């Protein structure tokens, strides 16, 4: 089976002041980027990590700076504030016309698990820029084990409800009222030329950076989503030798 792996950072904007998120109070540095031996079992996506020297217990999302693509995406609409930053890890989905081996694979949505990296975005922007390619090289973590750091760090899930509707669901058992919403693509920008093309540096290329707008307008808790710092996700150039659908 062909798996088109992808990792990305999603920034969510809402019509509310940027919140001060709680920071993890742990006093050790044994996180997934520092302990490779643990990554085969699970990935601890920081759990709002900073350092043991951080004593105020919260991080200020208003300090986070949005990464800029070579061709910049439009700025957030007036009156919106950053509400959440998540690292997405999953797959891009595609379909193929089996009657034509030279046909180009057609995008058919995506499926990803989202992990909270809001405080990393606020406090450690240099680390944020490295998370997507690192996550891409690691297995897609299982998120059903409630005792694992993965479960406790999970923001929610991203999937498509139809071919053009991206859905972000940030409601989980740990935080049942973070919100959810349907979004449509508004703008796209090619990923940087040096972006990671696939797992372990091998792949067909990197999916674009995106700005998405809420489909339900004022009914959505969140108004805009940016897909940034993408790594991997592009399909083969043609459908030759591929199944009718793959991810």
| In the predicted structure, residue 133 carries a pLDDT above the cut 80 | yes
The answer to whether 150 touches 143, Cβ cutoff 8 Å, is yes
Residue of 142 and 112 predicted with greater confidence: 112
Q: Over 136-158, what HEC string results?
A: HCCCCCCCCCCCCHHHHHEEEEE
pLDDT, one tens digit per residue, over 111-126 is: 999 999 999 999 998 9
The pLDDT-based confidence of 30 (bands split at 50, 70, 90) is: very low
* Least confident window among 4-13, 49-58, 215-224: 49-58
Domain spans of the chain, in order of start: 5-246
Q: What is the pLDDT of residue 4?
A: 62
Task: Give 50-53's long-range contacts (Cβ < 8 A, gap of 24+).
Answer: 50/23, 50/24, 50/119, 50/123, 50/124, 52/27, 52/28
Residue of 234 and 140 predicted with greater confidence: 234
pTM of model > 0.85: no
Q: What is the pLDDT of residue 174?
A: 84
Residue of 14 and 230 predicted with greater confidence: 230
Please give the Cα distance from 49 to 152 (Å, whole number).
12
pLDDT, one tens digit per residue, over 168-221 is: 999 988 888 888 999 999 999 999 999 999 888 888 999 999 999 999 766 678
Q: What ranges in 44-110 are assigned the alpha helix state H?
A: none
- What value does the mean pLDDT of the chain take? 80
Q: What is the pLDDT of residue 19?
A: 54
Q: What is the pLDDT of residue 10?
A: 87
The answer to whether 9 touches 72, Cβ cutoff 8 Å, is no
Q: Which residues of 87-120 are buried (b: 16+ CB within 10 A; e: fewer)?
A: bbbbbbbbbbeeeeeeeebebebbbbbbbbbbbb
Q: What is the pLDDT of residue 21?
A: 60
Residue of 109 and 14 predicted with greater confidence: 109
Q: What is the pLDDT of residue 16?
A: 63
The mean pLDDT of 44-66, rounded to a whole number, is 57
pLDDT, one tens digit per residue, over 82-112 is: 999 999 999 999 999 999 989 999 999 999 9
């Amino acid at each position: 089976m062909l798996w088109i792996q992808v990792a990305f950072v999603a920034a969510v904007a809402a019509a509310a002041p940027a919140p001060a998120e709680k920071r993890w109070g742990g006093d050790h540095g044994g996180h997934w980027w520092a302990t490779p031996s643990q990554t085969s079992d699970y990935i601890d996506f920081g759990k709002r990590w900073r350092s043991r020297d951080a004593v105020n217990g919260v991080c200020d999302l208003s300090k986070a700076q949005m990464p800029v693509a070579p061709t910049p995406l439009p700025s957030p609409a007036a009156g919106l504030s950053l509400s959440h930053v998540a690292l997405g890890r999953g797959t891009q989905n595609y379909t193929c016309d089996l009657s034509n081996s030279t046909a180009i694979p057609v995008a058919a949505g995506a499926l990803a698990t989202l992990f909270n990296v809001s405080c990393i975005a606020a406090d450690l922007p240099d680390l944020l820029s490295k998370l997507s390619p690192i996550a891409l090289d690691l297995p897609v973590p299982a998120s059903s084990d409630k005792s694992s750091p993965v479960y406790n760090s999970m923001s929610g899930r991203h999937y498509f409800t139809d071919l053009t509707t991206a859905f972000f669901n940030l409601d989980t058992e740990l935080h049942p009222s973070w919100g959810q919403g349907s979004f449509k693509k508004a703008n796209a920008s090619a990923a940087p030329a040096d972006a990671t093309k696939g797992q372990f540096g091998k792949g067909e290329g990197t999916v674009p950076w995106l700005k998405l707008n809420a489909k339900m307008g004022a009914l959505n808790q969140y108004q805009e989503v940016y897909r940034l710092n993408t790594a991997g996700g592009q399909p083969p150039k043609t459908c030759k030798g591929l199944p009718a659908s793959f991810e």
